[in-house]
């Protein structure tokens, strides 16, 4: 009887923990992906947005905004005043889905405005007039400020209904923020394009809640993308020592940090004895060891047949581009592309189907797929 109960218990544990996929071993690439540098001489190019005229808007963490076209760089003035400390500075940049009609451009950045010393993550929108931003509007500012230099996030994406999603990290030094909906930090937020709060957000009307919150229990999401088929928002986020995750963002759901995690403290030692819990969403994938993911793209372009239908994720820690082969929501194969290219900060598929990556200390590169030479056996 005891052995039967033990088998039943073991099977239950397997069925629970199988919900999240551990990293598969990284494999030799089955495709020949190369690159060519398009924009050189950049320090920490954090985000990229592609204008209808083919030019690229590039954010440097230091606060500089560069417009690049036809081999020429142009500095854009009128951007946000940034709090440039640690991981904070000028972060992501995206165009409004109806940009050609309304001209709105959205940026996330660390800001020192508001309560307390230091800074916290903010969202601004503005319009581009020649080489200058105008009509600046701050849509959201996390509080309170802190002098900690960690975990500002932040990526953005618009969904198919025109809502803007953005991430703010837990801001480091505390594990309280992500589980508390009355505090900013460790969350994915959803707002209308003008900064107002959608009335069907999950915590609207909750006492003292930050009503822009859409999901909570995140650590530091630095990849965010819309799934091209389902329309769901996918994020990846940094774990500590192990436990980087890919999550599908769902309304009002808890993603566990720091009560449920596959990661451990830097230098060793458990953060939590739980890797899954009934009231917490399991990641669809997690990495051990951490790759320090930043930037993410779903490949839909016919220019890259061997990558189409899969994910590309930048690795800051190991300085390569990761190709994650998908079967539905499952990562079934990992491939390391462009080894030792440098710290890959962002990955974007442009409107023309080309894929670009930003590399710290180098610049912006365009991916090139080559045919693999086959040898006769």
Rounded Cα distance between 123 and 135, Å, is 14
Sole residue written with tokens 């959201």: 140
Annotation marks residue 227 as catalytic: no
SS3 at position 85: coil
Rounded Cα distance between 56 and 74, Å, is 10
Q: Is the peptide bond before 289 cis (omega within 30 degrees of 0)?
A: yes
Q: Is the peptide bond before 154 cis (omega within 30 degrees of 0)?
A: yes
End-to-end CA separation in angstroms for the chain = 57
Rounded Cα distance between 105 and 78, Å, is 12
Question: And the tokens for 274?
Answer: 């739980």
Length of the chain: 377
Pairing of strands 65-69, 56-60: antiparallel
DSSP symbol at 241: B
Choose among 50, 67, 58: nearest CA to 350.
Answer: 50
SS3 at position 63: coil
Instruction: Indicate if the alpha-carbon torsion angle 265, 167, 227, 371 is positive or negative.
Output: negative
DSSP symbol at 2: H
CA distances from 329 to 104, 278, 303, 361 (A): 32, 20, 23, 33
Question: And the tokens for 259?
Answer: 């009560």
Pairing of strands 330-337, 26-27: parallel
Element (H, E) at 325: strand 320-327
In this structure, are residues 154 and 91 in contact, taking their beta carbons and an 8 Å threshold?
A: yes
Question: And the tokens for 184?
Answer: 């900013």
Please provide residue 134's backbone torsions phi and psi, each rounded to the nearest 5 degrees.
-130, 175
Give me the catalytic one of 35, 96, 151, 218.
Answer: 151
Other CB atoms within a 10 A radius of the CB of residue 177 amount to: 24
Active site residue ranges: 151
């Amino acid at each position: 009887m005891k052995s039967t109960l033990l088998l039943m218990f073991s099977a239950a544990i397997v069925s629970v923990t199988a919900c999240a996929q551990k990293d598969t071993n990284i494999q030799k690439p089955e495709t020949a992906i190369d690159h060519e540098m398009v924009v050189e001489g950049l320090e920490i190019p954090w985000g990229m947005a592609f204008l209808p005229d083919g030019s690229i808007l590039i954010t440097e963490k230091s606060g500089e905004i560069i417009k690049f076209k036809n081999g020429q760089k142009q500095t854009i003035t009128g951007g946000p005043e940034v709090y440039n400390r640690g991981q904070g500075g000028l972060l992501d940049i995206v165009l409004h889905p109806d940009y050609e009609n309304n001209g709105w451009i959205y940026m996330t950045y660390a800001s020192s405005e508001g309560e307390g010393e230091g800074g916290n993550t903010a969202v601004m929108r503005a319009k581009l007039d020649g080489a200058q931003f105008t009509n600046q509007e701050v849509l959201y500012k996390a509080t309170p400020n802190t002098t900690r230099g960690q975990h500002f996030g932040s990526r953005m994406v618009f969904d198919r209904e025109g809502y803007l999603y953005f991430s703010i990290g837990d801001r480091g030094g505390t594990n309280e923020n992500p589980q508390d909906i009355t505090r900013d930090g460790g969350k994915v937020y959803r707002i209308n394009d003008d900064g107002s709060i959608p009335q069907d957000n999950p915590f609207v009307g909750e006492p003292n809640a930050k009503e822009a919150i859409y999901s909570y229990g995140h650590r530091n999401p630095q990849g965010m993308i819309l799934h091209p088929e389902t329309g769901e928002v996918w994020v990846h986020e940094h774990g500590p020592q192990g436990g980087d995750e890919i999550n599908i963002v769902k309304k009002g759901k808890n993603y566990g940090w720091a009560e449920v995690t596959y990661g451990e403290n830097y230098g060793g030692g458990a953060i939590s004895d739980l890797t899954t819990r009934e009231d917490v969403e399991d990641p669809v994938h997690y990495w051990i060891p951490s790759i320090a993911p930043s930037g993410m793209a779903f490949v839909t372009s016919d220019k890259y047949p061997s990558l189409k239908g899969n994910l590309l994720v930048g690795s800051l820690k190991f300085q390569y581009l990761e190709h994650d082969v998908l079967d539905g929501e499952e990562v079934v194969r990992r491939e390391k592309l462009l080894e030792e290219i440098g710290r890959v900060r962002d990955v974007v598929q442009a409107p023309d189907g080309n894929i670009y990556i930003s590399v710290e200390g180098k610049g912006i590169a365009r991916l090139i797929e080559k045919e693999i030479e086959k040898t006769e056996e």
